[in-house]
């Protein structure tokens, strides 16, 4: 006997959304209580639903990246305020900042070239490994997405809603351009697939990601990956890692958790050597 003969699958949620939208307008159907819970924006944004929103922000990019076949990334971090060479240093608040931002504009080109090199290798893996990922904004982030786009490679952006600086740049692969409310979940996605992380000169956001990543590796909560600090002169002035070691607040060996690079090729050579990749 065929026990499945009269089986009827459950109605898909998308069908019920359409059906609900076609209901006649009455005081009952217009009341907030009548809305389907998962389409009710006011309900979904209630404080009590924060755990659900956190889960959704973790799940949505993970599902889409998996469906795209992306297995690993190379993440570029760096200042949103660093301009492309020859363009206005829009973030400068005084002449000193203008001079320094214009000088640091060379890192925009190094980030772009680094992303090109990485993406050219990624193409040999059918763009499954070493896919460029950034925070999706301007400056160094734009340079990273742009370098990948230069060689027609898919690239990822983990954007976040901010009052300024964070509209997605136009070089991101649209189907891989994600938006976040929670910094914590965004940080997780930066690291979940990362096989290397390149830090270019930047501000609080860049420092935040750098120290969090170093702490995770130091405490063995994350497997060691190449951590590249682009611009030894910049980083040596900003952070005295050797003094931290001398003060005893970090181990002397902790200064080996990262490596300096000044050019795109130097950065890629460190990654290729770490993973035994052929040029």
Strand, helix or coil at 106?
helix
Q: Is residue 95 part of a domain?
A: yes
Q: Is residue 16 part of a domain?
A: no
pLDDT digit string (tens) for 91-121?
Answer: 999 999 999 999 999 999 999 999 999 999 9
The domain spanning residue 187 has which CATH number? 3.40.50.450
Cβ distance 190 to 159 under 8 Å? no
Altogether, the residues listed in the chain come to a count of: 279
Average pLDDT, the chain: 94
Q: Is residue 27 part of a domain?
A: no
Measured distance CA(234)–CA(79) in Å, rounded: 12
Gyration radius of the chain's alpha carbons: 23
- Average pLDDT of 192-200? 98
Q: Is residue 151 part of a domain?
A: yes
Instruction: Say if residue 253 is exposed, middle or buried (CB neighbours under 10 Å; 0-12, 13-18, 19+).
Output: exposed
Enclosing domain of residue 193: 71-275
Q: Is the per-residue pLDDT at 150 higher than 80?
A: yes
Q: Is residue 53 part of a domain?
A: no
pLDDT digit string (tens) for 24-38?
Answer: 999 989 999 999 899
- Average pLDDT of 6-15? 71
Q: Is residue 9 part of a domain?
A: no
Instruction: Say if residue 80 is exposed, middle or buried (CB neighbours under 10 Å; 0-12, 13-18, 19+).
Output: buried
* Residue listed under structure tokens 């999706």: 136
Q: Is residue 44 part of a domain?
A: no
pLDDT score recorded for residue 20: 81
Instruction: Say if residue 7 is exposed, middle or buried (CB neighbours under 10 Å; 0-12, 13-18, 19+).
Output: exposed
Q: Is residue 52 part of a domain?
A: no
268 band by pLDDT with thresholds 50, 70 and 90: very high
Instruction: Say if residue 197 is exposed, middle or buried (CB neighbours under 10 Å; 0-12, 13-18, 19+).
Output: buried
Instruction: Output b/e per residue, 121-141; b: 16+ Cβ within 10 A.
Output: bbeeeebebbbbbbbbbbbbb
Any idea of the CA torsion for 117, 254, 182, 171, to the nearest 10 degrees?
A: -10
Total of domains in the chain: 1
């Amino acid at each position: 006997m065929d026990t499945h003969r009269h089986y009827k699958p459950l109605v898909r949620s998308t069908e019920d959304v359409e059906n609900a939208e076609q209901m006649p307008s009455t005081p009952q159907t217009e009341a907030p209580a009548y809305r389907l819970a998962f389409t009710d924006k006011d309900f979904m944004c209630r404080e009590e639903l924060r755990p659900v929103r956190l889960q959704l922000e973790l799940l949505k990019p993970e599902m889409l990246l998996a469906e795209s076949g992306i297995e690993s990334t190379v993440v570029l971090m760096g200042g949103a305020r660093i301009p492309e060479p020859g363009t206005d240093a829009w973030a400068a608040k005084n002449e000193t900042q203008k001079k320094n931002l214009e000088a640091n504009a060379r890192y925009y080109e190094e980030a772009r070239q680094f992303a090109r090199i990485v993406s050219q290798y990624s193409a040999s893996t059918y763009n499954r490994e070493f896919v460029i990922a950034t925070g999706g904004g301007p400056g160094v982030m734009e340079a990273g997405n742009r370098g990948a786009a230069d060689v027609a490679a898919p690239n990822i952006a983990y954007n976040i809603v901010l009052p300024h600086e964070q509209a997605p740049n136009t070089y991101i692969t649209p189907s891989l351009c994600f938006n976040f409310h929670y910094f914590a979940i965004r940080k997780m996605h930066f690291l979940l697939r990362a096989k290397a992380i390149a830090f270019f000169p930047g501000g609080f956001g860049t420092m935040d990601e750098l120290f969090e990543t170093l702490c995770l590796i130091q405490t063995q909560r994350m497997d060691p990956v190449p951590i590249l600090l682009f611009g030894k002169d910049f980083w040596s002035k900003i952070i005295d890692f050797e003094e931290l070691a001398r003060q005893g607040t970090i181990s002397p060996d902790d200064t080996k958790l990262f490596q300096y690079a000044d050019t795109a090729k130097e950065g890629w050579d460190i990654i290729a050597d770490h993973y035994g990749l052929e040029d």
